[in-house]
Amino acid sequence: MKVEIRAIQHQDAAGFCAVLDAVAKERKFLLTLAAPPVDRIQKFVDNNIAKKYPQFVALYDSQVIGWADFIPSENPGLKHSAQLGMGVIKQHRGTGVGKLLLGKVTQAAIDYGFSRLELEVFANNSAAIGLYKKFGFTHEGTKRNARHIDGVYIDSLVMAKIIS
């Protein structure tokens, strides 16, 4: 399988939106249950490109199949840190796409100058937790019953990587 990992481009917004929507509609991995409208995604992507924030897509046969980004808070006291957003469509999970994306976006976030990389992951997502640990993210805390969907409570783990 030939997968290309590259910085997101303006024309990738619709594909990114479709992947975000597909992952969200699985109701397992993201807080959101559907992607925002594509025009909002386009503004998000264009803003990230303009600010040179680390945001990458995975392409297979020229189609977006995954993304990863580290986006900082707008709060001046939190500009040193960035929050991970990431997803891969179901058909391409377990093939190394997530590893490629996380490696690329983590290095780009370090190169950008962030000194704290953070994420939240549902406690039942053992594959993602294992991947994050391989990249040096450590568990900082647990948000108990952080999510309640379809009658089920799920804890959320807070993980971070400190860049010295």
Alpha helices in 51-134 (DSSP H): 97-112, 126-134
DSSP character string of 75-93? SGGGTTEEEEEEEE-GGGT
Rounded to a whole number, what is the largest CA-CA distance in the chain? 42
Q: Which two tokens stand for residue 100?
A: 């490629």
| Domains of the chain and CATH, by start | 3-118 (3.40.630.30)
Q: Give pLDDT, residue 123.
A: 97
Tell me, what's the pLDDT at 1? 62
- Sheet of strand 116-122, all strands in order from the earlier edge strand to the far edge: 3-7, 55-60, 63-72, 81-88, 116-122, 152-162, 138-149
Instruction: For residue range 37-89, list pLDDT tens digits in order.
Output: 999 999 999 999 999 999 999 999 999 999 999 999 989 999 999 999 999 99
Of the pLDDT bands very low, low, confident and very high (cuts 50, 70, 90), residue 20 is very high
Question: pLDDT class for 97, splitting at 50, 70, 90?
Answer: very high
Q: 83, 66, 67: which is closest to 75 by C-alpha?
A: 83
- The pairing of beta strand 81-88 with beta strand 116-122: parallel
Tell me how far apart the alpha carbons of residues 127 and 43 are, in angstroms, rounded to a whole number: 31
Q: Which of 102, 38, 51, 98 is nearest to 79 (CA)?
A: 51
Mean pLDDT of all residues belonging to the chain? 96
Number of CB atoms found within 10 A of residue 80's CB: 12
Partners of 60 in beta bridges: 3, 63
pLDDT for 164 equals 86
Indicate the pTM of the whole model. Answer: 0.94
Residues 6+ apart with CB under 8 A from 155: 122, 123, 142, 143, 144, 145, 146
Instruction: Output the pLDDT for position 130.
Output: 97
Residue written as tokens 């024309």? 11
Cβ count within 10 A of residue 78:
13
